[in-house]
Amino acid sequence: MAKDHGNQIKNDEKYEALRDQGMGKTKAARIANTKNSGKKGGKAKKYEERTKKELLEQAKKVGVKGRHKMNKDELIQALRKG
């Protein structure tokens, strides 16, 4: 049973799994709080196959600062760093 992290974490199990993998608190919380965070995916296009607009939308979802000044390669790097 996952520890209850309060209202700030929407998916406690996902958060703990990500932390166990060595992910930082902020990044783990961001991922655990995304819509459908507990469901498996694997069908998303690779970042390189996405448009800059799609990358900007994803960067917005995960809170990348300065995203509007970035080119496509910089957005990809920022998204991978988390």
Write out the two tokens for 25.
């608190």
Would the pLDDT of 1 be above 60? no
pLDDT of residue 30: 82
pLDDT of residue 2: 64
Give domain limits for the chain.
1-41, 44-82
49-77: string of b/e by CB count within 10 Å (b at 16+)? ebeeeebbebbeeeebeebeebeeeebbe
| pLDDT tens sequence across 26-77 | 888 888 877 765 555 667 788 999 999 999 999 998 889 999 999 999 999 9
